[in-house]
Amino acid sequence: MRCEKIKKWISDKLDGELSEERKKLLEAHFHRCELCRLYDENLEKIHEDAQSLKVPHIFPDYWKDFDFRLKTKISSCEQDESRRVPLFLRWKWVLASAALIFVFFISFFYLAQIKAPQEVYILSFEDTFERISNEMSNDPELEELFNSVILASLGEDIDDFSQIISPEFYETPLFWEGVTEEEMDFLEIEIMKNIKSQEDFHEN
Amino acid sequence: MEDFSDDQLVKLAKQGNLEAFSELAGRFKQKIYNTILSFTKNHQDTDDLTQETFVNAFKSLKNFKQCSSFYTWFYRIAVNLTLTFLKKRSREKDRDVYSEDYSFHRSGEASNASPERYSLKMELTERLNKAIDSLPLLYKTPFILVVFQGMTHAQAASVLSCSENTVSWRMHKARKMLQTKLKLYLEGG
């Protein structure tokens, strides 16, 4: 394990990347370890040989030709660059169409919102009464409560009930034609109550 | 233009000065060519890749923020292009790749060396060439940059976009592989 670390230090030493302190430790290790010392010698030989390897000689004519070709390529690159239309311009028709469609949809929704009648939920009186009467037909207690509430509200608005039930009112045949049997019963009870209260009043 | 520093030339080239870019290209073309040739071992491919490196550098010069040195940035383009090319070439196994004998050879061979010693050295050099060539790209790339191009670990790390420690470990592994492959010749010579 220690020798493995030493071998890495040998590699670093050849690249000039080993600190002086470690170089001393390395030398001390070589005195004790023959294998590492041999490894160091081998690597030094490889390093020297590798550094002395040279590439084939390149003739100056090659570089002249190289420079000429490079300049031609770069010039054509520059021309291409100047000819190149910016991306947003290449897509101008698409962008313009998209903007037009967007504007169209926005205006369509805006106009539709203005013209559309305000949706207000109005519960019609007829429907309400029908629902209440249906409920009341199955529940006599509710019917009684409803009648008392209606009467109480009428009593609040009109101080004198006799103003509504006028003699002319009783005498109108059209009124009696439209009255149902149930309504007749109700009126009868109310009239009786009224007569009784008047009699009580006179007696007192 | 010759007196200008790299940074000054880069600034001018960024403004579209072709002459400044040509000067920069002139300063680096030999090094870039040699580096690429170390990988490809083929003049035609090296020529194409070197041209491509310069054209790519010219095109993306506007995006160069000068955070690293121009030299490192330039090498990064060259190495990336070369590695992409080599990976593509290795995939095309069926294709016959034209390869010339552009193996590295020893410079300034001592003419006074004995024929036996000269022959041994030549053999070792040939073996070394083959051993380096057979290294996996992961280890071969930092080896070429550090040993052939004389880069520090920091420079190689910047070119390869990795840490210095990674370069150090890869160099160690590359050398270990080379030593194993050449052990017999090293101890015999």
Q: Which helix or strand (DSSP H or E) is residue B105 part of?
A: strand B105-106
B113-189 fold: Arc Repressor Mutant, subunit A (1.10.10)
**A2 and chain B in contact, CB less than 8 A:** no
Q: How confident is the model at residue B113 (pLDDT cuts 50, 70, 90)?
A: low
> What residues of chain A lie within 8 A of the CB of B29, using their CB?
63, 66
The pLDDT of B170-185, averaged and rounded, is 91
Contact B51 A66 (CB under 8 A): yes
CB atoms within 10 A of CB A7: 20
List Cβ neighbours of A4 (8 Å cut-off, separation of 6 or more).
Answer: none
Q: The complex's ipTM?
A: 0.81
Is pLDDT at A122 greater than 60 in this prediction? Answer: no
* pLDDT per residue as tens digits for the range A130-186: 778 888 888 888 888 888 888 888 777 665 555 555 556 666 666 777 778 888 888
From-to residues of CATH 1.10.10.10 in chain B? 113-189
Give the pLDDT score at A192.
87
From-to residues of CATH 1.10.1740.10 in chain B? 1-100
Domain boundaries, chain A: 2-52, 123-157, 162-204
Is pLDDT at B15 greater than 70 in this prediction? Answer: yes
CA atoms of A39 and B183, how far apart (whole Å): 9
Give the pLDDT score at B100.
52
More confident residue, A162 or B145: B145
Do A46 and B128 contact (CB within 8 A), yes or no?
A: yes
- Cα torsion for B42, B48, B53, B57, to the nearest 10°? 170
CA atoms of B12 and B4, how far apart (whole Å): 10
Contact A54 B104 (CB under 8 A): yes
Supply the angle between the helices A60-83 and B43-59 in degrees, to the nearest 10.
Answer: 40
CA atoms of A8 and A128, how far apart (whole Å): 95
Contact B55 A46 (CB under 8 A): no
Which tokens hold the place of B157?
Answer: 């790390």
B1-100 fold: Rna Polymerase Sigma Factor; Chain: A (1.10.1740)
Give the pLDDT score at B146.
93
Contact B179 A70 (CB under 8 A): no
To test the contact with chain A by mutation, choose from B35, B105, B175, B178 the residue with the greatest count of A C-beta atoms within 10 A, namely B175
Is pLDDT at A98 greater than 70 in this prediction? Answer: yes
- A54: three-class secondary structure by DSSP: strand
More confident residue, A168 or A67: A67
Is pLDDT at A9 greater than 90 in this prediction? Answer: yes
Give the pLDDT score at A25.
93
The pLDDT of B75-96, averaged and rounded, is 83
Closest CA to B81 of B24, B28, B141: B141
Give the pLDDT score at A30.
92
- A53: three-class secondary structure by DSSP: strand
CA atoms of B51 and B45, how far apart (whole Å): 10
Chain mean pLDDT for chain A: 81
The amino acid occupying position A193 is K
Give the pLDDT score at A18.
93
Is pLDDT at A90 greater than 80 in this prediction? Answer: no
Q: Which of B128, B176, B183 sits opposite A49 (nearest CB)?
A: B128
Contact A77 B178 (CB under 8 A): no
Is pLDDT at A114 greater than 90 in this prediction? Answer: no
